[in-house]
Amino acid sequence: MLNPDRSFISLKNLSVNTLNSFFDTVKSLKLKNFRSERKGSVALMFFESSTRTRLSFELATQRTGMQALLFDGGPKTSLEKGETVEDSILNAAAMCPQAMVIRCSDQMDLAKISKQVFEVFQVPVLNAGWGRQGHPTQALLDYFTLLESFGSLRGLKLLIVGDAKHSRVIASHLEVAEVLGVQLGYCGPEVFAPVGFTGPRFLDLPSAIAWADSVYTLRFQFERHDGGLNFSEADYISKFQVNERVLTEYSSHKNVKLLHPGPINQGLEIEAGLSLSSWSLVFKQVQNGVLVRQALLTMCQEAR
Ligand code: CP
Protein backbone atom coordinates (compact mmCIF):
# COMPACT_ATOMS: atom_id res chain seq x y z
CA MET A 1 0.00 0.00 0.00
CA LEU A 2 2.75 2.43 0.95
CA ASN A 3 5.65 3.26 -1.34
CA PRO A 4 9.15 1.92 -0.50
CA ASP A 5 9.84 5.27 1.21
CA ARG A 6 6.54 4.79 3.16
CA SER A 7 4.89 7.69 1.42
CA PHE A 8 1.31 7.51 0.11
CA ILE A 9 0.76 9.81 -2.82
CA SER A 10 -1.35 8.04 -5.42
CA LEU A 11 -3.24 4.81 -6.16
CA LYS A 12 -1.14 4.00 -9.22
CA ASN A 13 0.30 0.47 -9.53
CA LEU A 14 -1.59 -1.05 -6.58
CA SER A 15 -2.77 -4.65 -7.04
CA VAL A 16 -6.27 -5.83 -6.21
CA ASN A 17 -4.81 -8.00 -3.46
CA THR A 18 -3.09 -5.04 -1.87
CA LEU A 19 -6.30 -3.03 -2.04
CA ASN A 20 -8.44 -5.83 -0.60
CA SER A 21 -5.97 -6.41 2.18
CA PHE A 22 -6.15 -2.69 2.97
CA PHE A 23 -9.97 -2.79 3.05
CA ASP A 24 -9.73 -5.72 5.50
CA THR A 25 -7.54 -3.60 7.76
CA VAL A 26 -10.12 -0.78 7.68
CA LYS A 27 -12.91 -3.26 8.44
CA SER A 28 -11.07 -4.67 11.46
CA LEU A 29 -10.47 -1.16 12.76
CA LYS A 30 -14.16 -0.44 12.41
CA LEU A 31 -15.07 -3.55 14.40
CA LYS A 32 -12.39 -3.14 17.06
CA ASN A 33 -12.02 0.57 17.65
CA PHE A 34 -15.06 2.42 16.50
CA ARG A 35 -17.12 1.86 19.62
CA SER A 36 -14.38 2.83 22.03
CA GLU A 37 -13.52 5.84 19.87
CA ARG A 38 -17.13 6.98 20.15
CA LYS A 39 -16.51 7.41 23.86
CA GLY A 40 -13.37 9.38 23.28
CA SER A 41 -14.00 12.77 21.73
CA VAL A 42 -16.05 15.95 21.92
CA ALA A 43 -16.51 18.14 18.84
CA LEU A 44 -16.21 21.82 19.76
CA MET A 45 -17.77 23.80 16.91
CA PHE A 46 -17.59 27.56 17.35
CA PHE A 47 -19.11 29.59 14.51
CA GLU A 48 -19.02 32.77 16.64
CA SER A 49 -16.11 34.12 18.66
CA SER A 50 -15.53 32.94 22.22
CA THR A 51 -12.81 32.86 24.84
CA ARG A 52 -14.30 31.63 28.13
CA THR A 53 -16.83 29.11 26.81
CA ARG A 54 -14.48 27.58 24.30
CA LEU A 55 -11.48 27.28 26.62
CA SER A 56 -13.59 25.93 29.46
CA PHE A 57 -15.25 23.30 27.27
CA GLU A 58 -11.80 22.34 25.99
CA LEU A 59 -10.44 21.98 29.51
CA ALA A 60 -13.59 20.16 30.67
CA THR A 61 -13.17 17.75 27.75
CA GLN A 62 -9.58 16.99 28.82
CA ARG A 63 -10.66 16.51 32.44
CA THR A 64 -13.27 13.96 31.43
CA GLY A 65 -10.55 11.99 29.66
CA MET A 66 -11.83 12.80 26.19
CA GLN A 67 -10.19 14.52 23.26
CA ALA A 68 -11.39 17.80 21.79
CA LEU A 69 -12.05 18.01 18.04
CA LEU A 70 -11.77 21.70 17.38
CA PHE A 71 -13.61 23.40 14.55
CA ASP A 72 -13.83 27.16 14.53
CA GLY A 73 -15.48 27.59 11.16
CA GLY A 74 -12.83 30.03 10.03
CA PRO A 75 -10.72 30.19 6.89
CA LYS A 76 -9.40 26.88 5.53
CA THR A 77 -12.59 25.01 6.37
CA SER A 78 -15.07 23.91 3.73
CA LEU A 79 -17.40 26.74 4.76
CA GLU A 80 -15.14 28.74 2.45
CA LYS A 81 -16.22 26.52 -0.42
CA GLY A 82 -19.89 27.11 0.25
CA GLU A 83 -20.69 24.26 2.63
CA THR A 84 -23.45 25.28 5.03
CA VAL A 85 -22.95 25.41 8.78
CA GLU A 86 -25.62 22.73 9.11
CA ASP A 87 -23.74 20.40 6.73
CA SER A 88 -20.49 21.00 8.62
CA ILE A 89 -22.26 19.99 11.83
CA LEU A 90 -23.81 16.86 10.30
CA ASN A 91 -20.44 15.80 8.90
CA ALA A 92 -18.74 16.22 12.26
CA ALA A 93 -21.62 14.30 13.86
CA ALA A 94 -21.06 11.46 11.37
CA MET A 95 -17.67 10.92 13.04
CA CYS A 96 -19.68 10.04 16.18
CA PRO A 97 -18.06 12.11 18.89
CA GLN A 98 -19.31 11.60 22.43
CA ALA A 99 -20.97 15.02 22.29
CA MET A 100 -21.01 18.16 20.16
CA VAL A 101 -20.64 21.61 21.67
CA ILE A 102 -21.94 24.32 19.35
CA ARG A 103 -21.87 28.12 19.40
CA CYS A 104 -23.73 29.74 16.54
CA SER A 105 -25.71 32.78 15.47
CA ASP A 106 -29.48 33.30 15.31
CA GLN A 107 -29.29 32.42 11.63
CA MET A 108 -29.04 28.75 12.52
CA ASP A 109 -31.84 26.76 14.15
CA LEU A 110 -29.80 25.01 16.83
CA ALA A 111 -32.82 23.17 18.26
CA LYS A 112 -33.65 21.72 14.84
CA ILE A 113 -30.12 20.64 13.95
CA SER A 114 -29.65 19.13 17.44
CA LYS A 115 -32.74 17.00 16.90
CA GLN A 116 -31.44 15.84 13.51
CA VAL A 117 -27.97 15.07 14.88
CA PHE A 118 -29.43 12.95 17.66
CA GLU A 119 -31.94 11.16 15.44
CA VAL A 120 -29.35 10.24 12.82
CA PHE A 121 -26.17 9.78 14.86
CA GLN A 122 -27.32 9.58 18.53
CA VAL A 123 -24.89 12.37 19.38
CA PRO A 124 -26.04 14.91 21.99
CA VAL A 125 -25.58 18.63 21.22
CA LEU A 126 -24.75 21.13 23.96
CA ASN A 127 -25.62 24.79 23.43
CA ALA A 128 -22.49 26.94 23.93
CA GLY A 129 -24.28 30.21 23.10
CA TRP A 130 -26.92 30.52 20.39
CA GLY A 131 -27.43 34.01 18.94
CA ARG A 132 -29.79 35.89 21.24
CA GLN A 133 -31.69 32.70 22.07
CA GLY A 134 -29.77 31.45 25.06
CA HIS A 135 -26.54 30.52 26.79
CA PRO A 136 -27.66 27.88 29.29
CA THR A 137 -24.24 26.82 30.60
CA GLN A 138 -23.50 30.47 31.43
CA ALA A 139 -26.72 30.78 33.46
CA LEU A 140 -25.91 27.51 35.27
CA LEU A 141 -22.42 28.65 36.17
CA ASP A 142 -23.77 32.02 37.32
CA TYR A 143 -26.29 30.44 39.66
CA PHE A 144 -23.79 27.88 40.89
CA THR A 145 -21.41 30.76 41.71
CA LEU A 146 -24.15 32.64 43.58
CA LEU A 147 -25.13 29.47 45.42
CA GLU A 148 -21.52 29.00 46.54
CA SER A 149 -21.33 32.59 47.69
CA PHE A 150 -24.69 32.91 49.47
CA GLY A 151 -25.37 29.31 50.52
CA SER A 152 -28.90 29.46 49.11
CA LEU A 153 -30.57 31.03 46.09
CA ARG A 154 -34.13 31.17 47.37
CA GLY A 155 -35.18 34.78 47.89
CA LEU A 156 -31.96 36.20 46.38
CA LYS A 157 -32.44 39.54 44.60
CA LEU A 158 -30.28 39.69 41.49
CA LEU A 159 -30.12 43.05 39.74
CA ILE A 160 -29.39 42.98 36.00
CA VAL A 161 -27.75 46.17 34.78
CA GLY A 162 -27.22 47.00 31.13
CA ASP A 163 -27.88 45.50 27.73
CA ALA A 164 -30.28 42.70 28.65
CA LYS A 165 -32.34 42.95 25.48
CA HIS A 166 -29.54 41.67 23.25
CA SER A 167 -28.15 39.19 25.77
CA ARG A 168 -28.49 35.44 25.30
CA VAL A 169 -27.25 35.07 28.86
CA ILE A 170 -30.32 36.87 30.21
CA ALA A 171 -32.59 34.82 27.93
CA SER A 172 -31.32 31.75 29.82
CA HIS A 173 -31.54 33.45 33.23
CA LEU A 174 -35.20 34.21 32.54
CA GLU A 175 -35.81 30.50 31.89
CA VAL A 176 -34.47 29.36 35.24
CA ALA A 177 -34.43 32.19 37.84
CA GLU A 178 -37.97 31.73 39.11
CA VAL A 179 -37.55 27.96 39.47
CA LEU A 180 -34.52 28.59 41.65
CA GLY A 181 -36.38 31.19 43.70
CA VAL A 182 -34.21 34.08 42.50
CA GLN A 183 -35.92 37.45 42.01
CA LEU A 184 -34.56 39.36 39.02
CA GLY A 185 -34.65 43.16 38.80
CA TYR A 186 -33.60 45.33 35.90
CA CYS A 187 -31.88 48.70 35.68
CA GLY A 188 -30.76 50.39 32.47
CA PRO A 189 -32.00 52.34 29.46
CA GLU A 190 -35.41 51.36 28.10
CA VAL A 191 -33.89 50.16 24.80
CA PHE A 192 -31.80 47.63 26.74
CA ALA A 193 -34.69 46.25 28.83
CA PRO A 194 -35.26 42.49 28.56
CA VAL A 195 -38.26 41.64 26.38
CA GLY A 196 -41.28 40.35 28.32
CA PHE A 197 -39.68 41.09 31.68
CA THR A 198 -42.25 41.50 34.47
CA GLY A 199 -39.96 41.93 37.51
CA PRO A 200 -39.02 45.17 39.24
CA ARG A 201 -37.53 47.83 36.94
CA PHE A 202 -35.41 50.70 38.18
CA LEU A 203 -34.67 53.90 36.31
CA ASP A 204 -31.91 55.02 38.64
CA LEU A 205 -28.93 52.94 39.68
CA PRO A 206 -28.72 54.02 43.35
CA SER A 207 -32.23 52.73 44.21
CA ALA A 208 -31.58 49.58 42.17
CA ILE A 209 -28.32 48.88 44.00
CA ALA A 210 -30.05 49.48 47.34
CA TRP A 211 -32.60 46.77 46.40
CA ALA A 212 -30.09 44.15 45.24
CA ASP A 213 -28.22 41.33 46.96
CA SER A 214 -26.07 40.94 43.85
CA VAL A 215 -25.45 42.89 40.68
CA TYR A 216 -25.14 41.23 37.27
CA THR A 217 -23.58 43.66 34.81
CA LEU A 218 -23.92 43.08 31.09
CA ARG A 219 -21.75 43.89 28.12
CA PHE A 220 -22.87 46.39 25.49
CA GLN A 221 -23.65 43.96 22.65
CA PHE A 222 -22.40 46.35 19.96
CA GLU A 223 -22.65 43.67 17.27
CA ARG A 224 -26.44 43.50 17.80
CA HIS A 225 -27.25 47.23 17.86
CA ASP A 226 -28.63 47.48 14.37
CA GLY A 227 -29.21 51.16 13.69
CA GLY A 228 -27.22 52.35 16.73
CA LEU A 229 -28.39 53.63 20.12
CA ASN A 230 -30.35 56.73 21.17
CA PHE A 231 -27.86 57.70 23.90
CA SER A 232 -24.13 58.24 24.12
CA GLU A 233 -21.65 56.07 26.01
CA ALA A 234 -20.90 59.09 28.25
CA ASP A 235 -24.63 59.34 29.09
CA TYR A 236 -24.75 55.65 29.92
CA ILE A 237 -21.64 55.83 32.10
CA SER A 238 -23.01 58.75 34.10
CA LYS A 239 -26.33 56.99 34.79
CA PHE A 240 -25.74 53.25 34.77
CA GLN A 241 -22.05 52.34 35.04
CA VAL A 242 -21.48 50.05 38.02
CA ASN A 243 -18.53 51.43 39.93
CA GLU A 244 -16.91 51.51 43.34
CA ARG A 245 -18.75 54.69 44.31
CA VAL A 246 -22.29 53.40 43.71
CA LEU A 247 -21.55 50.06 45.38
CA THR A 248 -20.03 51.78 48.42
CA GLU A 249 -22.64 54.52 48.75
CA TYR A 250 -25.88 52.74 47.90
CA SER A 251 -25.62 49.05 48.65
CA SER A 252 -27.66 48.10 51.69
CA HIS A 253 -26.35 44.53 51.57
CA LYS A 254 -23.04 44.14 53.39
CA ASN A 255 -22.07 41.21 51.21
CA VAL A 256 -23.22 42.54 47.81
CA LYS A 257 -21.54 40.71 44.93
CA LEU A 258 -20.75 41.73 41.38
CA LEU A 259 -20.98 39.38 38.41
CA HIS A 260 -20.34 39.79 34.70
CA PRO A 261 -20.47 37.00 32.09
CA GLY A 262 -17.62 38.53 30.08
CA PRO A 263 -16.22 39.72 27.83
CA ILE A 264 -16.10 43.10 29.62
CA ASN A 265 -15.95 46.52 28.01
CA GLN A 266 -13.67 47.88 30.72
CA GLY A 267 -14.67 51.41 31.72
CA LEU A 268 -18.06 51.24 30.02
CA GLU A 269 -20.63 49.00 31.71
CA ILE A 270 -18.38 48.63 34.76
CA GLU A 271 -15.53 50.70 36.10
CA ALA A 272 -12.20 49.47 34.76
CA GLY A 273 -10.59 47.02 37.17
CA LEU A 274 -13.72 46.39 39.28
CA SER A 275 -13.68 42.74 38.23
CA LEU A 276 -10.59 42.37 40.46
CA SER A 277 -12.24 43.98 43.52
CA SER A 278 -13.50 42.21 46.65
CA TRP A 279 -17.10 42.57 45.38
CA SER A 280 -16.31 40.63 42.25
CA LEU A 281 -17.20 37.01 41.52
CA VAL A 282 -16.15 37.38 37.88
CA PHE A 283 -13.19 35.00 38.00
CA LYS A 284 -15.08 32.55 40.23
CA GLN A 285 -17.68 32.47 37.44
CA VAL A 286 -14.94 31.54 34.98
CA GLN A 287 -13.56 28.81 37.26
CA ASN A 288 -17.01 27.39 37.89
CA GLY A 289 -17.66 27.42 34.14
CA VAL A 290 -15.15 24.60 33.70
CA LEU A 291 -16.88 22.51 36.39
CA VAL A 292 -20.38 23.09 35.04
CA ARG A 293 -19.28 22.04 31.56
CA GLN A 294 -17.33 19.08 32.94
CA ALA A 295 -20.48 17.93 34.76
CA LEU A 296 -22.50 18.14 31.54
CA LEU A 297 -19.91 16.22 29.52
CA THR A 298 -19.74 13.56 32.24
CA MET A 299 -23.52 13.18 32.01
CA CYS A 300 -23.20 12.70 28.24
CA GLN A 301 -20.52 10.01 28.80
CA GLU A 302 -22.62 8.19 31.39
CA ALA A 303 -25.72 8.30 29.21
CA ARG A 304 -24.03 6.29 26.43
N1 CP B 1 -19.42 34.49 28.70
C2 CP B 1 -19.08 34.02 27.48
O3 CP B 1 -19.84 33.31 26.82
O4 CP B 1 -17.83 34.40 27.08
P5 CP B 1 -17.18 33.98 25.68
O6 CP B 1 -18.02 34.64 24.59
O7 CP B 1 -15.78 34.51 25.71
O8 CP B 1 -17.25 32.50 25.57
**Residue pLDDT, tens place only, 250-299:** 998 888 999 999 999 999 999 999 999 999 999 999 999 999 999 999 99
- Ligand 1 within 6 A of CB of 252: no
Determine the distance separating the centroid of ligand 1 and the alpha carbon of 105, expressed in angstroms: 13
List pLDDT tens digits, range 109-152.
Answer: 999 999 999 999 999 999 999 999 999 999 999 999 999 999 99
String of b and e for 205-233 (b: at least 16 CB within 10 Å)? Answer: beebbbbbbbbbbbbbbeeeeeeeeeeee
- Ligand 1 atom with least separation from CA of 54: 8
- Ligand 1 within 6 A of CB of 65: no
List pLDDT tens digits, range 145-169.
Answer: 999 999 999 999 999 999 999 999 9
pTM tops 0.85:
yes
Cα–Cα nearest to 221, from 282, 159, 131, 128: 131
Q: What is the mean pLDDT of residues 167-172?
A: 96
List pLDDT tens digits, range 43-81.
Answer: 999 999 999 999 999 999 999 999 999 998 888 999 999
User: What is the predicted pLDDT for the residue at 285?
Assistant: 98
- Sorting pLDDT into bands at 50, 70 and 90, what band is 10? very high
- Give alpha helix (H) positions in 44-167: 52-63, 85-94, 110-121, 136-150
Task: Return the H-helix or E-strand segment holding 130.
Answer: strand 125-130
Cα–Cα nearest to 206, from 237, 249, 142: 249
Rounded distance, CA 53 to CA 166, Å?
A: 18
Residue 37 has pLDDT above 90, yes or no: no
- Ligand 1 within 6 A of CB of 261: yes
- Ligand 1 within 6 A of CB of 51: yes
